[in-house]
Amino acid sequence: MKPHLQHRLLGKTELSVTPIGLGGAYLGVSRNNGTYEIDEDVGIATVLRALDLGVNLIDTSAGYMGGSRSERIVGDAIAQWLESGGCREKIVLETKTGTRRQGDRTAEDYSARTTWESIETSLRLLRVDHLDIALVHDPMDLEPVLAPDGAWSALQEMRSQGLVRAIGLGTRSHEDHRRVIATGACDVCLTHSDFNLLTQTARAGVIEPASHAGVAVFNATSLAHGLLLGDRSPTEIVAGWDNSWHAHLKAQSEWPTMLERAQVLWDWTRSQDLDLLALNLHYIAREPGITATLMGAATPAQIEADVAALNVELPEDLWQPLTALIS
């Protein structure tokens, strides 16, 4: 295994993961004439390619892609992996509960009963007898989650029974992460959109509190919706956006500054003959409190590019001028 894919311990658990994980929100997804289509065979091939490349962390959710399709795709891929001689214990499999979708509708429910039902459904769809990680997914309000008859108590019971090996929260709210960390029962915090070359607010909001408590941190949406992908300039990327799809991004108060900073980074990396994707992934991987970054690859080629970017050798003397540029 190449040095940059060496495993990292998952907080205080006995699990270990590669610094890149495969995010399962877009497996096999492509865009055609303004609509999104799913090719499940491509999704399965993406999971298998990630495993072939040495990526051992596979992320999915009851709420991804409608009709539990992400979990179905991951389950089919794992079944093929095992049939071809793969080892279940070499995969760290994560799913989420609370947002299982029925068609185009997301039915949010954070009760203990529904959490048990959702995890049991996940086990069936994923074709496994236990989960390595189960997260509460995107609650708008933590009160139902932390209630005595809520999802958090259910996940703790599942962990005590060995049905899941680690539990945590997957959401953006830094305050919610800190509240769950404070329960003393959290193993993993999955934060998104707030740690990359454009923003590092998750450092104080999530990463440092988690590190002090021995809680692992997964980082997601690290490419800033494509602005840090590096294949085109941010200005060109935004010009091709569907206004309705990305309107929520442009409405954010920090958006003009984010776009400006992305363009500055793009121009600087071009002048230095550097790969922006590699630079971003290396920057994140250097953050000691981040255990892994989940990459939402849709195709085998995309996860190949992510792993290749992390294995690019970058000169050590670039970090000082880069830090000055983004601070």
Q: Domain residues of the chain, as ranges?
A: 3-326
Residue at token pair 């922006």? 276
Residue-wise pLDDT tens digits, 55-93:
999 999 999 988 899 999 999 999 999 999 999 999 999
- The answer for 215, left when phi > 0, alpha when psi is -120 to 50, beta otherwise, is beta
User: With contact defined as beta carbons under 8 Å apart, do 86 and 97 qualify?
Assistant: no
pLDDT bin (cut points 50, 70, 90) of residue 241 is confident
Residue-wise pLDDT tens digits, 254-269:
778 888 999 999 999 9
How many CB atoms lie under 10 A from the CB of residue 326? 15
Residue-wise pLDDT tens digits, 285-313:
999 999 999 999 999 999 999 999 999 99
Residue 305's contacts (CB-CB under 8 Å, 6 or more residues apart) are 277
Q: Are strands 35-38 and 131-137 parallel, antiparallel or unpaired?
A: unpaired
Write out the H or E segment, with its range, that includes residue 206: none
Homologous superfamily (CATH) of 3-326 is NADP-dependent oxidoreductase domain (3.20.20.100)
Helix (H, G, I), strand (E, B) or coil at 42: helix
Name the burial class of residue 229, with classes exposed (0-12), middle (13-18) and buried (19+) by CB atoms within 10 angstroms of its CB: middle
- The answer for 159, left when phi > 0, alpha when psi is -120 to 50, beta otherwise, is alpha
CA–CA separation, 147 and 153 (whole Å): 8
For residue 219, what is the DSSP state? Answer: E
Q: What is the pLDDT of residue 2?
A: 52
Does residue 107 register a pLDDT over 70? no
| Residue from 128, 137, 139, 136 nearest 162 by CA | 128
**Candidate ranges 234-238, 249-253, 309-313; pick with highest mean pLDDT:** 309-313
What is the share, in percent, of the chain residues with pLDDT greater than 90?
Answer: 83
**pTM confidence score:** 0.95
CA–CA separation, 152 and 169 (whole Å): 9
